[in-house]
Chains A and B, each alone.
Chain A
Amino acid sequence: MNRTRPMLPYMVWMTIFIVVPLFLIVYYAFTSTEFNGVALTLDNFRRVFQPVYMKVLWRSVKLAVVSTAVCLFVGYPAALIMAGNAFSRKNTVIMLFVIPMWMNFLLRTYAWLTLLERSGFVNQFLARIGLPSLNILYTDSAVVLGMVYNFLPFMILPIYSVLSKIDRGVLEAAADLGANKVVTFLRVILPLSLPGVISGITMVFMPALTTFVISRLLGGGQYTLIGNLIEQQFLVVGDWGFGSAISMVMIILILISMAVMSFFEDGEEGRALW
């Protein structure tokens, strides 16, 4: 009794903003509005699995995987350097990664739009030093760039948080037992940081899979990812049933990937960030 009462506001909040919308999505996904009322149907799901939409889904998964991989390969060394730094300098480096996050996500993405334009800053710079111009705006590369730029902190911070918690004594123990720096990294630091890596991958992969703003701005009007598809169904086409069906497929996809992730994650460290 005593413990349930303080929880009540949260329960109400969660019911209104999480449970009810989820039920609505399920409701719309499995029904269609006929002339004589509402009918149960699987038509919406049949449409999702049409080749044209599967292609969109596949492209979304592919770009999300590529962005996550790039974030990992850029973010891990960055986290490693940050964790290895002396305390005073550490905060400065962390701030450098965090400060851009204080700015609006849309603004940051718009900035890339102007930077990457045909006569934008990047191409002016390339022309100045005599290099051919770069025309990646409205391509996969630009979308991946936008995702990596926006989601990189979500990869770095969990990895950094796990790395900085590794006891220095453990690293000294490894050196004491004959491990040089490379061996210590491969056999001790890397395995100990896996919970952070998994947490980082999840935190980048999910928004990358569902984004529609980055793909719209940097991919151009015709560029469609799964997020754009859902947005269109709800806001442009008005087919809530189909939009809900795609949303459900995506939710299931995310649940599966999270299950796979938690299978690899046996430590508790990475979860601290959730």
Chain B
Amino acid sequence: MTDQQLVHLVGVSKIYDGTPALKEIDLYIRRNEFLTLLGPSGCGKTTTLRLIGGFEQPTTGKILFDGRDISSIPPYKRRVNTVFQRYALFSHMNVFENIAFGLRIKKMDEKTIRAKVGKMLDLVNLTGFETRSVDSLSGGQQQRVAIARALVNEPEVLLLDEPLAALDLKLRREMQHELKNMQKQLGITFVFVTHDQEEALSMSDTIAVMKDGEIQQIGTPEDIYNEPRNAFVAGFIGESNIVDGVMHEDKVVEFAGQVFDCVDGGFGKMEPVDVVIRPEDVKLVQPEEAKLQGVVKSVTFIGVHYEMIVQAAGIDWLVHSTLMEPVGAKVGMLVAPMDIHIMKKVSFG
């Protein structure tokens, strides 16, 4: 297990001008894993990436790489490479020279450089673009050059700082696939920063959800989606109904004026909790069949299903359903006990 831990952040915090950007986080990254740092802007995800890349020094704590402390080693001596958010390509060089930059610094011979760059151009589908100037490329192509420029150095860890943020939706989907394939094909550890939860869910082996310089939850995409640890994670990953509730006893919770069975326990008696219900877990039935009754306030067709707002017990519930109920219809809402997620209340500054 320990030899799998390629990068280990131990109690790392970073303070900029008195404002903490990271608060003593502990994080390890396994060899060959696709780890995503996910969170809203200002949550410290990019700072974490820059610390691993060596562009920032931790205020406290240390960063272990293969068991060795690299906290004070400059970026050019680290075996990691970065794909920057705005690509940061060298505009005075053509595509070939951009990709060859790292290899030339290592003073490789021309033949090896040609072979390696050729292989990379093939990997990112840019063969034939060698002599093009980088300014003449589209955003997606520049992105590929940036990826090739980093990967050609065969880093042990590739850091990607919101690399797809500037691309349009279709291109972003394509690049997500390609990145994931490259990662599998090359067997390189990827650390990926994004604020896009869908991107995180579809690409990652592991997701670390961050907020206010702290890691809220770390786990597989399934764990994070199905068992969010707190209301923030639940709200950030996918859409959720988050309502106030009170725990009567283990497996019994009261919310929206009714008492429901659930599967969670371990809370104090009458402890206030957050109740999280995914919109796709709400089943619409005849009013008399359910404890919760409400009125449909709005209906939007968004392709796969209808998105409906149902007002019940003074709360607006988001419901996803493949069957449409007209606006104004009286409906009942059923939620299976295992789909009622109970979370400890946390206060967020």
Chain B residues closer than 8 Å to A267, beta-carbon distance: 92
Binds B, one of A92-100, A121-129, A147-155, A172-180: A172-180
Q: Does A213 contact B (CB under 8 A)?
A: no
* Segment among B98-106, B199-207, B245-253 that sits at the interface with chain A: B98-106
Q: Which residue of chain A has the shortest Cβ distance to B161 in the bound complex? A: A169
Instruction: Return the contact of A180 from the options B76, B82, B91 (Cβ within 8 A).
Output: B76
**B5 at the A/B interface (Cβ < 8 Å)?**
no
A176 to B90, CA, bound (A): 13
Instruction: List residues of chain B with CB within 8 A of the CB of A62.
Output: none
Instruction: Provide the bound-state CA to CA distance between A163 and B338, in Å.
Output: 61
Q: Which residues of B contact A173 (CB under 8 A)?
A: 82, 84, 88-90, 149
B54: min CB distance to chain A, Å: 8
Determine chain A's interface SS by DSSP, over half rule. helix
Proximity string of chain B (71-83) to chain A, C-beta cutoff 8 Å, 1 when within and 0 when not: 0001110001110
Q: Cβ of A188 < 8 Å from any Cβ of B?
A: yes
A187 to B150, CA, bound (A): 17
A179 with B92: CB separation less than 8 A:
no
**Interface assignment of A183: CB less than 8 Å from any CB of chain B:** yes
Residues from chain B with Cβ under 8 Å of A261 in the complex: none
Q: Give, as a whole number of angstroms, the nearest-CB distance from B259 to chain A.
A: 56
Structural contact, B105 and A169, CB atoms closer than 8 A: no
Bound CA–CA A67/B48 (angstroms): 49
- Chain B residues in 8 Å Cβ range of A180: 74, 76
> Which of A145-172 touch B at CB < 8 Å?
167, 169-170, 172
A191 at the A/B interface (Cβ < 8 Å)?
A: yes
Judge whether A177 and B88 touch: CB under 8 Å: no
What is the CA–CA distance of A194 and B55 in the complex, to the nearest angstrom? Answer: 27
- Nearest Cβ distance between residue B220 and chain A, in whole angstroms? 29
Q: Which of B53, B75, B92, B106 contacts A191 (CB 8 A)?
A: B92
Query: Which residues of B (175-218) have their CB < 8 Å from a CB of A?
Result: none
Asked if B172 lies at the interface with its beta carbon under 8 angstroms from chain A, I say no
Q: Chain A: interface residue count, which band?
A: 10 to 19
| Residue interface mask B92-123, A partner, CB < 8 A = 1 | 10000000011001100000000000000000
Once the chains bind, are A178 and B86 in contact (CB under 8 Å)?
A: no
- Cα(A129)–Cα(B89), bound, Å: 53
Closest A residue by C-beta to B93: A191
In the complex, the answer to whether B82 meets A178 with C-beta atoms within 8 Å is no
Q: CB < 8 Å: which of B75, B81, B84 contacts A169? A: B84
Given A187-B101, A192-B91, is A179 in contact with B84 using a C-beta cutoff of 8 Å?
Answer: no
Contact A174-B101, Cβ < 8 Å, known A167-B86, A192-B91: yes
Least CB separation from B146: chain A residue: A173
- Cβ contacts under 8 Å, B85 to chain A: 169
B59 within 8 A of A: no
* Other-chain contact of B105, A170, A172, A179, A194 (Cβ < 8 Å): A179
Instruction: Give me the interface of B with A, judged by CB distance under 8 Å.
Output: 53-55, 74-76, 80-82, 84-86, 88-92, 101-102, 105-106, 149-150, 153
Q: Name 8 interchain pairs, CB-CB below 8 A, sorted by A.
A: A172-B55, A173-B90, A176-B76, A176-B81, A177-B153, A178-B106, A179-B101, A180-B74
